Structure formats: structure tokens, C-alpha cells
Structure 1
Amino acid sequence: MGKIAVAGGSGAVGQEIVKVLAASRRHEILILSRSDVSDKGESRPGVTWVKADYGDMASVLSAVDTVLSFIATHADPGSTVQKTLIDASIIAGVKRFAPSEWATSNFEELPWYAEKANIRAYLQEINKEKKPGAAIDQLAIENFEFVFDLKSRRAIVLDGYDSVITLTTYGDLANIVLRAVEYEGKWPVNGGVQGTTIATSKFLEIAARVRGKPFEIQALKEEDLRADIIKSSWIPRLEIPGLPDEQVDAFSKMVLKGWLLSGLHESWRVSDEWNRLLPDYKFTDAEEFLTKAWAGKP
């Protein structure tokens, strides 16, 4: 039985991972929260909420084996909080640290992920100095419904480029994290997880088959996007906790632009280190997932 600390785990990915870790009943889970613990209505056996003072974390992390970070990087300018967590993990003797990288393989064209790049560089420097507690565990989850609107059967793509993406379900990701924290070997520095890696065009073929008819596809030109011109009839709207409504539209446009342009760098294509380390695990296929989620729906 290990002791696992989870920082910033209130999002969809973090919650799913905590649920699976707790359900195993093999680990003690410590959830670090900057808000008042008394406000937390959730209670699970083996899960303890602690109000975290990131100015003094080493004592809180005493006897912790693994730290999983889900800190929202856009809310951590300068990566101050996550760097403090890393430093405290080293002081406390934490064996494994997974930074808040649960999406892409690189950050080209993704300015809202800039702090992730800073943390990656910070951990690389720590690893170079051979200090304990630093490993980049880079797992992938693709929220594909951002540019692929399954309900309305429409999609936005980059004109002239068939980008490749990796799609992994929350459930598969959580199950791999459970196996990773129990893995007796050394974690890979880059720990990619692949559910399905697929070309956008192929994904849309599957989606159309599952949804019963072709999608309306709007292709935006690279030169327009780089000039901040978005000529689509709709723009996916992102609801970000803590982001004022007046900023949501501008942020959604920035993410759409970055999402499409990042396809030029295959930022959403993730490596398969954990697949190879855990070859017996069967991942949910993209078509299997879409069929289960959408078959027969209007």
C-alpha cells in the first residue's frame, strides 16, 4: 500500500483518477486543496482532504510515495505553486512526481500551456543534477469534442492538413495511472499513453458512420488563423472555472486557433511508453467508445 498525494484534482481527469485509485483500496490518498476542506462534500474510504499551504509542504508530504499534480497551469503564473510542490517533494523524499501534463506531447502553438513547458524544463534541470523525486509522467487525454461536435455532426479542421491525434478515455487513463503507481520499475521520463492514435479524416469517417450521416466540415486556412481571422460559422466555447464570462469568447478563439495550428507539429499525438510497459492492458478503441456513447442517439 502506498501513499499518494494529489494536487489540484478537482477537474474531470483528476476526479476520475482519484476515483479509480480509491476504488482499488490499495492506497492512501491525500488530496491537497487550497480551499477550505470543510467545503468538500465528498468522502471516500482511504481519501483524506488537506488544506494545503504551499509555503510549507514538505511536512505534509512526509511518507508520500507519489505526487500527482493537476494544478491548472493558467492559474499558476510563473509556475510558482507547482515548483514549490516539486521542491517540497524532493525535501520530503517523494519517489515519483507526475507534473500537470495530462494532454499534449509538445506545446507548439499552445500559448495557454506555456507554464507546462516551464515545469518540464525545471524537472529536466533537477534530473540533470540527479536529485530525487523528479520524473515527467506525460499522460494523454484528448477532449476531442472541442473541434468535433458529435451532437450537431460538424467539425472544424485545418485546411490541407490531416493532423494525427491520440484519443484516450478517462477510464483508461485512470487505470494506467493506478498501474503506474504500483509499477516496481523506474518510471520513464516521458510516459505517453495511447488509446487510439488516428488521422483526423479517419476519425471523422468513424464518427459519421456512428452518427448515421456525414459531418459538415469547415476547413480554416493557416494564413487566416495566423492573422487571427476565424472564418468558421461556429466557435467551440470553453467554460473555464474562474475565467470571467467576458474573457471566455476571446480565450475560446485563442484555443481554437492554437488547437488547429498545433496539428502542424502533431502536438496531440502522444507516445506509447506505458503501453509498452503494460502490454496486457486493453485500451478502449475510438470506434468502440463512439459507438457506445452515440449509437442510436438523434
Structure 2
Amino acid sequence: MVHIAIVGAGNVGREIVEELAAQGKHQITVFSRKAELPEFSNPGIAVKRVDYKNRDELVDSLKGVNTVLSSVSIDSASKTQKALIDACIAAGVRRFAQSEWGQRSDAYLPGQEFKREVHRYLQDINADRQVLEYCLFQPGLFMNYLAYPYKTTRYLHITPLFLSVKEKQAIQVDDGADWLVFTDIQDMAKVVARAIDYQGNWPEIGGMVGSRIKMKDLIKLVENVLGESLTIHTVKREDLEKGQAHLPWVPPLSHPKIPVEQQEAVARRIFPEFLMAGVRGDIDVEPSWNKIMPDYEFTDIEALLRRALPQKS
């Protein structure tokens, strides 16, 4: 048994916390900066209020902790994580997972700069020798998004990407030959739990692959599961690169922090970046953890969709 500190336990972090708690192997403490601490039904989860600006308090809170898993949101994320990293080193923490949990952090998507900044900080600290073992857990995109609006997660808020099984529409770039990686978030949480017990060094870039598929083949797979065709919209890469792409349709954005009346405008602003990330290969992550854990059976897209979508009689 080791002591694990979870920093940021909403959405993605909550999925990881609950999986670790359900396995019951380790001591778990959730760090929170909020005055009103989150509540968990599992009595094995402790919650501690922490001031990330108070170095001495942070170091003291981390004493005896083996692994820190960070899933802090974008607001002040790089400052918070740098403070955490410094405190981890001072407190003798063995392992640190930065707030990654998606496609490659060198993918130039909106809101990714803080991930690149924290990664560079970890690289600089470990330049001469390993001071703090760390990993960037990269599941690509959560395949749970593909089932929207049918929920396949306990806590992750989902929104459609690239296609909508409800509206029966999809969008692709050119011939749809770009490779994408999708992983079920519950598989990711289980891999993280296994990684805690892994005795070797964590890979610096910890990609994992539930399904690797070309966009055009993803559309065909979804059509096969639905038993009907999707309306396919095609945009040109050259138009995306020039910032001149006309998107006749975008997947409906669903996010609790974005007012409903603003969601389509926000989707039209950011979705071209996701399309470009696909054609650049930014979502095609390496199967690092698959190789370390060859016995683990990941959920594939077809299995998840057939489980989630209403079946026709």
C-alpha cells in the first residue's frame, strides 16, 4: 500500500479517484483549495484543504505521499503544478503525473500551453539526473464522447466530437485518412491504478490506445452500429490551414461552463483546431502502456457504442 494524493478531483480526476478507491489497495487523499470540501461516498477517500501558495504547508501535506496525480483545470494550472512539483521534491515524493489526460501535449490546441509549460519544467528539473519520476498519461480522446448523448461514464462530462449519433452527422477532412486514438475513460482510470503498482520506471510519455482508427473508418463503424447512414460533411485541409474553412455543420457543444446561447459560436471557433489536430497526427498517441500491460484488454469503440446506444428491435 502506498499513499496517493489526487490534485483536482472533478470530471476526469473523479473517475480516477473512484477507481482507486474501489480497488481499495492504497491510501487516498484528495487535495482541494476550496473552502467547501468535496464529499465522497467511499470512506476510503480522505479530503484535505491545501493552499498551493503556501510552500511549507504544501510540503508538509505531501510528506509520506508516494504518488501525486494532478488533474487541475486550466486556470493557473502551470503555477499550481510547478508549486506542486517543487513541494514533491522537497517532501520526497516518488512519482508525479501532470495534468495531461488527453491528446499529446505538444498538440497546438486551445488551452494546451500550460501542459507544454509544465512538461518543460519537469524535463529541466530532471535534465542531469532523475529527481522526480513522472509520466504524461495520454489516452488520446475519450471514446465516451462518441456515444453522446448516451452516457457511458460516471463523472466525466461528455460532448460530441467529429460526429453525432443523435443528429446522424459527421465531419471529416479531405478523404478522412487521418488516424485518431480513442480510449474509454474507465480503461484509463484502470491503467492509472495499475501504473501505481508498476515496479519499473514510468514512461515519460504514457500513451494508451483503446482503439486506433481512421476518421473515414470510424464513420463506417458508427453507421454499422446505427444501422443507417450518416450525413458526411467534408472540409479541405488547405482551407483549414488558411483559416478559411466553411463548416456547414459542427457537433453540438455541451459544456456546463458555457452558456447554451454561446455554445455553437464557441464550437465553430474551436472545432477547426480539433480537425487540424487530427490531420497533424496530434491525436495519434503511442501505445506505451499497452506494451507495458499487454494482458490488459481495452474496450473498443464498437463494443462501447453497442453497449451505450439503444438497440433497434
User: How far apart, CA to CA, are the structure 2 residues paired with 1:7 and 1:129?
Assistant: 27
Could you report, residue by residue, the CA deviation over 1:164-191 in whole angstroms, capped at 9, with x for unpaired residues? 1111101111111110001111111111
Q: 2:53 pairs with 31, 52, 55, which one?
A: 55
Q: 1:200-236 deviations in whole A, cap 9, x for unaligned?
A: 1111111001011111111122343344445233333
Q: Which residue of 2 aligns with 1:64?
A: 65
**CA positional deviation for 1:250:** 4.7
Aligned residue type for 2:50? A
Name the CA shift for 1:248/1:83 in 2 (closer, same or farther; >3 Å): farther
What secondary structure sits across from 2:207 in the alignment? coil
SS at match of 1:104: coil
- Equivalents in 2 of 1:241, 1:93: separation in Å? 38
Taking the aligned partners of 1:158 and 1:52, their CA distance within structure 2 comes to: 45
Displacement of 1:99 in angstroms is 0.6
Q: Which runs of 5+ in 1 are unaligned?
A: none
Give the Cα–Cα distance (whole angstroms) in 1 for the partners of residues 31 and 258 of structure 2: 22
Q: Is contact 1:123–1:134 with CA below 8 Å preserved after alignment?
A: no
Output aligned runs, 1:85-124, within 5 Å. 85-124=84-123
Aligned to 1:269: 284
Q: 1:243-286 CA distances to partner (integer Å, 9 max, x unpaired)? A: 56676555423320110011222111111111111111111121
TM-score by length of 2: 0.86
Aligned residue for 2:220? 205
Contact 2:163/2:251, CA 8 A, preserved across alignment: no
SS of the residue corresponding to residue 223 of structure 2 reads helix
SS in 2 for 1:17: helix
User: Quick one: which amino acid aligns to residue 254 of structure 1?
Assistant: R
Work out the number of aligned pairs and report it: 294
Preserved contact between residue 3 and residue 65 of structure 2 (Cα < 8 Å): yes
Task: Give the equivalent residue in structure 2 for 1:285.
Answer: 300
Identity of aligned residues (%): 34
Q: Tell me, which stretches of 5 or more residues in structure 2 are unaligned?
A: 147-159
SS in 1 for 2:138: coil
| Aligned twin of 1:173 | 188
Compute the displacement of 1:161 (Å): 4.3
Note if 1:233 corresponds to 2:248: yes
For 1:9, the aligned partner's letter is A
Secondary structure of the structure 1 residue equivalent to 2:134: coil
RMSD value, Cα: 2.1
Over 3 Å counting, the alpha-carbon distance change for 1:121 and 1:247 in structure 2 is: farther
TM-score, reference length from structure 1:
0.91
In 2, the alpha carbon distance for the partners of 1:177 and 1:125 equals 24
**What is the alpha-carbon distance in structure 2 between the residues aligned to residue 258 and residue 200 of structure 1?**
16
Q: State whether residues 60 and 91 of structure 2, in contact with CA within 8 Å, keep that contact through their aligned partners in structure 1.
A: yes
1:107–1:117 contact (8 Å) kept in structure 2: yes
Aligned 8 A contact 2:140 2:283 in 1: no
Q: How is 1:7-156 mapped onto 2 (pairs within 5 angstroms)? A: 7-11=7-11, 13-38=12-37, 40-56=38-54, 57-73=58-74, 75-76=75-76, 79-143=78-142, 144=146, 145-156=160-171
Asked if the contact 1:147/1:156 (under 8 Å) is kept, the reply is: yes
